[in-house]
Structure 1
Amino acid sequence: MAGEPQADCLFCKIIAKEIPATVVRETETTLAFRDINPQAPTHVLVIPKVHYADAATLAAADPQITADLLREAGEVAAGDEVDGTGYRIVFNTGSGAGQTVFHAHAHVLGGRGLNWPPG
């Protein structure tokens, strides 16, 4: 069932504290932790505590938690002091776009030049 924890989901296991992560923020609805393969000095994943496969599915099912996720992304950037120099919030949706964990999540990237297009 959508929204329910999935036994085979890496991020659901992190939320349940079954797998360790370097948590930087936690709210009632979200969890933010450092990426284990950072692509920038600040690279934090912000995830909803409910399971939806991707950002579009989350947004359609629960707009309030989607807003919580975006607000927390901004708080992560402020906490890492990249809010003044600029940061990127990235949602990869689908394997063709690089999504490897099918639990909605935002990448917060900052602390280096982030020219577009990424590469």
Structure 2
Amino acid sequence: MEYSFFIYDGVVGVKLVGDFLGHPEEKNLIRDAKNFTKSGLRDFVIDAAQVNHMNSGGLSMLVRLYTDVSQHKGRMLLVASPEQLSKLLKITKLDKVFTKAERRGEAIQNLRLSKKSA
């Protein structure tokens, strides 16, 4: 499990790579993301295109991130979720919670446009 952050025009991008199985080191992702929300960067795009597998522990990590972002009046979009993750979201009915986009650029543009109209 690996992750990296980038910032583009006030939107925090998070790229996830590998297996997300709820390991203790995934708490580092939440901690690092909270540093962004505390500093005022509240909109997140989660790029899951390179996630091999995610179980309920990894899904819990996404929910905790979503909760933190929401509590700071931010928004979070999920990009390019693999079929396994899409099925998991559907089974847990979290597909109704997470807004999805096909591409990272599309997600960033959606967040930027909705921020201007707010």
Query: Shared fold (TM-score greater than 0.5)?
Result: no
Structure with the larger strand share: 2
Structure with the larger helix share: 2
Smaller-chain TM-score range?
0.3 to 0.5
State the TM-score, normalized to the length of structure 1.
0.34
